[in-house]
Each structure stands twice: as C-alpha cells, then as structure tokens.
C-alpha cells in the first residue's frame, strides 16, 4: 500500500511540474483532475504517462463547450468538423487520434465512467498514445468532458 501511495504522490508531482513547465493558467480543476486520473490509471498498468498537449486541449475545450451548449455528450454534432479536422485546426500534429466524451457531475464520476466502458478504457490505456488534451465545460450543474489522445508526430 505504501508503494501505491508513493506512486500516486509521484504522479501528482509530475502533473504539477507539467503545469508549471507549460505555464497552464487556464486549465480548470476538472481538467487537471482528469489528466491526473488518466496518468494514474496508466501508471497502475505499468504504462508511461501521457504528456499534456495544449493544442489537443484547445480542440477538446472547443468540443466540450459545444456539448455543454447542446446538453449532450457526443463525438460530433451536425455541421461540426470531424475529430481530425478539429485537432488540426487547433494546431496539433499527430499520426493517430482517439477521443473520450462524457457528461457527469464530477470529474471523478466521469473518469469512473470512462474506465467502465471498454472502448473508453482502451483509449486511456492505449500504449501507442503519448499525448493528451482535456477540455471540460460546465452547464446546468453538469460537466461535459472531452479527452483527446494522440500519438504525436
């Protein structure tokens, strides 16, 4: 148990260093919590942590805002660009992409939902991915979350 506590503490230090290194002041608490939860889940499986990618986060935030506005968690809405186009518009360079979307009252609930879903869990634990951007928007007491994963070029 002590090793897990130590590993969790190390993961949190890594997250904090990542934020200071990238100067993230616009990242919400829910986004930080989801980022940390993803890397803790990966670490528990012996996988390398994902690095924060601000371009992916920009794309994720834009899509989260649309989901909140529409009151639904979906990968795409009519008239909205595809995931690939959204990420390219935000400036990300990638060779592979995947996305998780969910709606819930807390970031902990959202992460638990991702880990219960085989497809979403596979995205979190995909050993080929090396980067993540998270976007969360709030509307009517609900959080609308987007996790965009990539294998960077």
- Residues 27-38, mean pLDDT to the nearest whole number: 94
- Residues 74-82, mean pLDDT to the nearest whole number: 94
Q: Assign 19 a pLDDT band (cuts: 50, 70, 90).
A: very low
Q: When comparing pLDDT for 101 and 13, which is higher? A: 101
Those residues whose C-beta lies under 8 Å from the C-beta of residue 54, and which sit 6 or more positions away, are: 22, 24, 133
pLDDT, one tens digit per residue, over 103-142 is 999 999 999 999 999 999 999 999 999 999 999 999 999 9
Could you give the C-alpha distances from 35 to 1, 85, 121, in angstroms and in order?
23, 23, 14
pLDDT of residue 26: 58
- Coil vs helix vs strand at 79: coil
């Amino acid at each position: 148990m002590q090793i897990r506590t130590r590993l969790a503490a190390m993961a949190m230090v890594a997250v904090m260093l990542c934020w200071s290194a990238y100067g993230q002041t616009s990242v919400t608490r829910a986004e930080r919590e989801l980022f940390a939860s993803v890397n803790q889940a990966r670490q528990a499986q012996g996988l390398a942590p994902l690095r924060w990618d601000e371009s992916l986060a920009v794309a994720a935030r834009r899509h989260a805002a649309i989901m909140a506005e529409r009151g639904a968690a979906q990968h795409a809405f009519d008239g909205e660009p595809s995931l690939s186009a959204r990420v390219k518009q935000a400036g990300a360079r990638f060779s592979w992409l995947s996305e998780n979307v969910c709606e819930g009252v807390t970031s902990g609930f959202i992460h638990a939902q991702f880990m219960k879903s085989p497809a979403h869990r596979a995205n979190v634990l995909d050993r080929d991915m090396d980067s993540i951007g998270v976007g969360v928007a709030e509307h009517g007491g609900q959080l609308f979350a987007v996790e965009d994963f990539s294998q960077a070029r």
